[in-house]
Amino acid sequence: MLLRAENLTFAYKNSFMVKNINLSLAPGKLHYLAGPNGAGKSTILKLLCGYLHPASGKVLLDENDIANFSNSQRAEIMGTVWQDRTLDLDFSVREMVSIIASARFPRWGTAERKNEELIACKLSEFALLDKAKQPVSTLSGGEYQRLMLAGMAVLAPEILLLDEPTAALDPAWRNKVMKFLEEYALDHTVLIVTHDLELLGRAQGVLALLDDRGNFISGNAAELLNEKVLSSVYGTAATVEKTAGKNCRIYFDWDQ
């Protein structure tokens, strides 16, 4: 499913946060959104999923304005994983996955055997099966991120939007999660908002960059991951080193 932002503009108390954002997201490859703190990345994410309404412009789902979709209709199509830990309710890990999945499949609450088997499979995939009966509030930051991803793996939305999905993960789990997302993106639309330079260094899909002056560019990640572009976006000297494979390492001169 195609997700498109068309001349998207949003303001907080008459102060423009993002202006004239044009972005097209489609299945087949991962999409990344990066830039310095306060530039408006999370605002764009909230506009794309319909949590915020633009001052002008629109968000289109296969050419249909997202404003015409009800909350339940959007929940059937789009899954969003936020960095903030906002769902520490008195539910078990298994119950939380079931609740996430119910956004698309109302009958998940009936505990059908096939549903339970799929939940167990995804909890096992994200190494949480042994914690299925634990309260969500007992999980570490990394375990909580894996829980949200397990829920999305069960829900299987056509569009998946993620805010810093690897922030609390150790290197091994970051690699596993990125492999999961890369595979998922082959048949689904996936956007990752990230500050993780290591993550950006492995980007092979589409990259959008937003600086704190409102400048927005997007294109092939391999072409945008260069010292001139990154230095301009982040406001400090960047060094990009190519590795033996397709990845690169990104450094910034914080003493500048």
Where along the chain do its domains lie?
3-87+157-252
pTM over 0.95: no
Q: Would you report the helix, strand and coil content of the chain in percent, each value rounded to 5?
A: 40, 25, 35
What's the rounded Cα separation, in Å, for the pair 181 and 199?
12
* pLDDT band (50, 70, 90) for residue 197: confident
What's the rounded Cα separation, in Å, for the pair 221 and 40?
20
pLDDT digits (tens, 9 = 90+) for 1-26: 899 999 999 988 767 678 899 999 99
> In CATH, what is the architecture of 3-87+157-252?
3-Layer(aba) Sandwich (3.40)
How high is the pLDDT of residue 68?
A: 92
Specify the pairing of strand 3-12 against strand 56-61. Answer: antiparallel
pLDDT digits (tens, 9 = 90+) for 134-157: 999 899 999 999 999 999 999 999
Q: Does residue 27 sit in helix, strand or coil?
A: coil
Tokens of 89: 């309710």
Tokens of 62: 């296969």
Q: Does residue 246 sit in helix, strand or coil?
A: coil
User: Does the pLDDT at position 130 exceed 60?
Assistant: yes
In SS3 terms, 31-55 reads as EEEECCCCCCHHHHHHHHCCCCCCC
Q: Does residue 9 sit in helix, strand or coil?
A: strand
How high is the pLDDT of residue 86?
A: 63
- Please return the burial class of 102, using the count of CB atoms within 10 Å of its CB with bins 0-12, 13-18 and 19+: middle
Q: Which residues contact 246 (CB under 8 A, 6 or more apart)?
A: 202, 204, 222
Helix 113-125 vs helix 141-155: crossing angle, to nearest 10: 140
The whole-angstrom distance between residue 100's C-alpha and the CA centroid of its chain comes to 16
How high is the pLDDT of residue 71?
A: 86
In this structure, what DSSP letter does residue 125 have? H
Range from 25-29, 88-92, 151-155, 186-190 carrying the lowest mean pLDDT: 88-92
pLDDT digits (tens, 9 = 90+) for 239-251: 999 887 778 999 8
Q: Average pLDDT, stretch 229-234? A: 93
